[in-house]
Amino acid sequence: MKEPQQQAEACIIWMHGLGADASDMMGLVEQLSVEDLALRHIFLDAPTRPVTLNNGLVMRAWYDIVGMQLTDRQDREGIEQSRALIRQVFQDQLNAGNDQIFLAGFSQGGAMALYTALNMQTPVAGVIALSAYLPLANSIKPELAKKTPIFMGSGQYDPIVLPLWSKQSVAWLIDAGYSELTSHTYLMEHSICTEEIRDLSHWLKTQVKGEQE
């Protein structure tokens, strides 16, 4: 956890990508230009589990991935287990008096941020999904408020989370009525770039303080 020096205005719960750990998201947060915001950052570690795609190697993963196709990334049991874990951390922050809570993540962690938020009736301050996609899209009946701000960033040359998957997820969200969706595509592969950090920093300032360009 990273605490602000003064009372937190908002809280961001971060989920890392497959095979990484919480330190990945700590590094990303260090790059954000949000010094004027009092943000509490909570960095979650995914459970360890065998990942079929990686020859059954045990690693930190929010859910199993069987193959390279999007339909191979639909481990419902693992996704639901991780959703419950993330939801509990969210509830703990609510109970502690934080009412402006963001769910955020990169790759598999971003997928979990989207999926967890969409299945919540409790107000969410915003969702950040970087180089991610929406899993189990065909079975979701979204409960999340339609005015919830969502930031999605993707790489135009991403070989891991294909650009088509991100586009399909954006289209799904628009069709579902999420009108406060901000989507950017960057000239990168499966990573984070300077432009994305800049755009995300501005988006966060807008959501927390209502600042406009």
Homologous superfamily of domain range 10-209: Alpha/Beta hydrolase fold, catalytic domain (3.40.50.1820)
Q: Which amino acid is at 171?
A: A
3-state secondary structure of 169: helix
Task: Name the stretches of the chain with pLDDT < 70.
Answer: 211-213
| Closest C-alpha to 119, from 161, 76, 182 | 76
pLDDT at 213: 41
- Model pTM? 0.96
CA distance 29 to 17: 15
Residue 56 tokens, joined:
């059954």
Please give the pLDDT value at position 211.
53
- Asked whether the beta carbons of 163 and 154 are under 8 A apart, the reply is yes
Domain borders along the chain are 10-209
State whether the Cα torsion 29-96-80-118 is positive or negative: negative
Residue with tokens 């299945």: 119
Burial call 30-47: b when 16+ CB within 10 Å, e when fewer: eebebeebebbbbbbebe
The catalytic site residues sit at: 107, 158, 190
